[in-house]
Amino acid sequence: MRVTERLKAGGRVFSFEFYPPKTDEDTARLFTAAVELKRLGPDFVSVTNSSSGAAPYRTVALCGVLKAQLGLEVVAHLTCLAHTREEIAEICGGLRKMDVENILALRGDPQNVAPAALRRDYSYASQLIADLKRLGGFSLGGACYPEKHPEAPTPEEDIRRLREKVDAGAEYLITQLFFDNASYFRFLERTAAAGISVPVLPGLMPITGYRQVRKFTQLMNVSVPAALRSGLERWENDKAGLFAFSVEYASRQGEELLRGGAPGLHLYTLNRSRAAIEILRNVKGAAAA
């Protein structure tokens, strides 16, 4: 089933995100996690890729395996900075052969692309979405940033670019991770004011320590609420306590988002299942209570 069809069918949509493994150990961890998470009945799983030229082909292969062997509905991430239009069409052909009908269309990170690998066919995700729309046959999603894309000079410019994605054919959006729900709800107000009415799935990730916090704060300008920072400080030297706190924080965050009208939750798993399983069980249990 296409993601757009699932979103239109009603009910809450729950999904997980994986990334293609690079080692045998990573591969084993990924498939263990995928098998365990499948038991929770996710509506779909997404598979990331980096912005390098070869990465999408690993994404296509993993999407095919997850769909054929595990029966999971799959969304393939597709970046465009390192690809020509002809290469994009070839990648889409591979996805069709794997019976993958869903694409999350992304520009990609320029800093991750070697200058010699950059192509000139695409500068923005909206251009990729427009091409994919013309190719046909896919349900198309886009990415969004509740606290503003790091490269956007202003929130208004960020929303203008997002509107271009939707106008080009993005049928739903998945947010970058955030830790303050107020930023998500303010974002929805701004998108609505700009005439953007597609569903916006919030993306959540349990935090395991200050290293992650520093990474997200520096790379993506993600704010860290006092309650999260306080908990990380309290449990910094207690691995079990930190895990429990992180799961609890993400669970309460998810519950509040759903109560506020979010269409579902997208969980960033880092190819591990334990935290994602506990969070989703907590959230579904609270919704059923």
Give catalytic residues, as residue numbers: 17
C-alpha–C-alpha distance, residues 262 and 105, integer Å: 21
What single-letter DSSP state applies at residue 18?
E
Sorted by sequence, the CB contacts under 8 Å of residue 150 that are 6+ apart come out as: 219, 220, 221
Give the number of other CB atoms < 10 A from CB of residue 234: 12
Full DSSP string of 103-123: EEEE---GGGS-GGG--SS-S
CA atoms of 13 and 3, how far apart (whole Å): 9
Residues 176, 203 contacting (CB under 8 angstroms): yes
Token representation of residue 15: 């999904």
Rounded Cα distance, 235 and 233, in Å:
6
* Dist CA 34 CA 45 (whole Å): 9
